[in-house]
Structure 1
Amino acid sequence: MLFVTLLSLHAQYNSMNVPDSSSIRKSIVSSWITAPFTEVQVKNRELHTNDVGELFQVRMEEGMDEFLVIVAPQTFNDVDVIENGKQSHTERQEEFRAGSPGGWVLYRDKQSGEAKRIVWYFNADAEVYIQFRPSEGNQSRCYADMLVFGSYAARSVPVGVAFSRIYTASFSDIYTWTRSTLPWKKVTAQQGVYRDSVQVAETIKSRLGFIDYAENASYNEYGILYDIMSGNPMNEDSVATSYADRLTLSGAGFLKWIIDGFVTPLAGRGTSIPELLNHTVDYGTLSKNGVLSQERNLSFSLDWTRNLAATILSVRTRKNYTYETGGTDVTIEPFAADVMNGMVVQSSGYIPNTGYAIKKLKSLLYVLAVTEPSYMYLAAIRQSSTLVADEMVFNECAVLIPYFDDFGRFGCYVFEKGRQIPLERFILQYPNSFVHLSRVKTNGNFFPQ
């Protein structure tokens, strides 16, 4: 049995670190890049070396209506070989992945041979890439798109050169041509700035085994267990096994416990439950939501997360902030449009008092991790009510801690209701929902009780 750990040759994008296949592509223009499909179809894979000795593989892959000419750099996997249930030894496995940094892929129509687009990979995450398209009916012009996990960070940006120039351009050329027109700062992560975020996440992970879930349970500022909704103390023996080192928490109480890990060492006590319940949304008495909000709390987790973020900012700065004055709401608009089923669709981005469509969450967190390193985010989920049809409510909440590892690959810790779950599963469990984010700066002064 094999356990594979990917090792990338190029940990993080910069103009000097992306393998360059331009000299190779110059030598295969007529034989691969512009050759008829029938000629390319029968070709065997070829290995070529660039000017600095880096190895690339040239190959063709065939789709239903298109065929791909791929120039892929050499990469390696470290493979642990398991024998008799134990690790025997480690082997290096060679690969030529199109999605590795430096991978170059030309898409062509099988019938006409016409070039459709070129995808150029430069990032440790293959879902972050640049795409070039010729102007419709005019191959002398081309446009560039920058995509981040299915969302357009930039779309249809004029490049100023003929599309055929991309056949032989170097990545340095591409960066020079688009340095001021493509949002490179959104996709270029810094190294060594995520240690606090990872440390906070690992500290939370180390305590998860001591947390029991109970609806509406949260410790007040003095460490006494309360029912959030009733405002009354709870009997710990009635909701969890009574051990001194165990905690009883709801989803909201879990977020409060995390924030109190920052607040208590500074303030001498935790956050106040009644203050966290202060409303942050005025629906208006005559609106549908205004009428419904008189019967039930439609914005519970939104209020809770906003007030938590404002409270920790106030404690740290020794000034009184609300979510409005503290700038803790995430409201950025980093994307031009979405990609759904291969089609470009417009999106509204941030919606006040609602947040973002949850399908945008991964791409949004990627950009936030680049542009706001060492922050974590309190997420409030707006989803369909289980009680009233066509009603949207904020009930659930989670903590999201995005980061980049030492290889420049994106990751995100997700903690919800005292458990850690993968980001992809978190997104899938809330289909057609919205997520509102409140930012909190991480640091090493994190001591959850």
Structure 2
Amino acid sequence: MFGFANALLLALFAAAAVDLILAWRRTGGPVAAVRALWRQEHLLFGAWGAPWRLRAGQAAFCRALALYEFTVVFGSSMAREHWPWLQTQLSPVLDAVLYTLLLAKILLGTRYTWRSLGVAGALYFIARWVYFNGQNIWFLGLAVVLLAAKDVPLPRAMKAFLAAGLPSLAAVEILHFAGVLAPGATSERDGSFRLLFGYGHPNTFGGIVFGLVLAWVLLRTAKLHWAELAGIAAVAVFLLVGPASRSAALCMLLLAVLLAAAKVRRARPAGRGAAAACAALVPLAGAVSLILPLFIVKIGPWASDVGPAWLGRLDGLLTCRISLAWAAYRVLPIKIAGQMLPEWPVLDNIFVYLLYQFGPVLLVLAAALWAAALYGYARRGGWQQVACLVAVLCYGYMETQILHITSDPAALLLCGAVFALPWGRWDAVPED
């Protein structure tokens, strides 16, 4: 992945150089060339074969997204323990194919202005920088997917996501209940047993189901019926009762409530104040995540022995996520470009995790992109998208799985902000 990360960055620089030469020849001067490239969307390496390149780019992205979903949903199940070759032989091949498809989409199947490419390229440079320090392959995958998502209609991407994810999950469950994949495996917490459903941890299963529900919502958006909202709530109850994946279950219930409110409000755009209030949820969640652990007081030797009493009860409800952040404050340094984290303390809060794994620069950038997405979709009246972003924000308070597209397909809603596009054009797909 180090080689891929460097190759993509060098290829983007090469594309910019070729574009400048071609535009210079076309306009007759360097200033006019830069002005045209800055304002006009264009394919990299020239406009040859534009119609089929755009179509092929969308197809390449959807196939890569489907491969990504399969490798996580099926490859991360207990199938990798039952058939080790899935992890050692098949997975590297699929990774090579999907990253090649994404590379081709970015370089040959997407239109950019130099303004949008410069902003997205700078963000990718920072992502690559912190990846080299933290070596989190899922984060690099998320960054590359966001770069490749431009010019792809979100419904088409979600169809590919669901077409791969639903059969993969069904295959895992059939093999699990048929007695092939970890048939009797359970997880114990506080004396109660949690069903694993063919995965190594209940929250892995919960995150996968949460991602599939989000994909369905993003596919349907304003077309969602009340029966579908009831179905989302029913899936949340199942997650609460079956694997007892509280984080996914509670956030899915929140999603159902927000979608109901969105259905009542319809597509009425928000004013600047209301949109700013939506965006303010991101710094608010970040402040709560980073400040609340400062009030922890240790009153005993065990991880759960914390006070004051109200904070101890909240920490227990969140399975020690607050006290583990308190521990991180005392044993881990903060590095500007991130670091590899030890096994303890386990950081499940996304804000605390980003601070230590990737550093404060990336934390601020990620929060800014999320807030910009909330503001833009609220101003557009895209309340279903706002509901998804808020639900994922709450999920991120308890799980770092939002770094995986599998658990967080709503991350694709950040694409417009990543490329600094006007929010009125976030869903626009260029004509052939």
| Greater fraction of residues in helix | 2
TM-score (norm 1): 0.24
Q: Considering Cα pairs closer than 8 Å and 6+ residues apart, tell me whether 1 or 2 has the greater RCO.
A: 2
| Greater fraction of residues in strand | 1
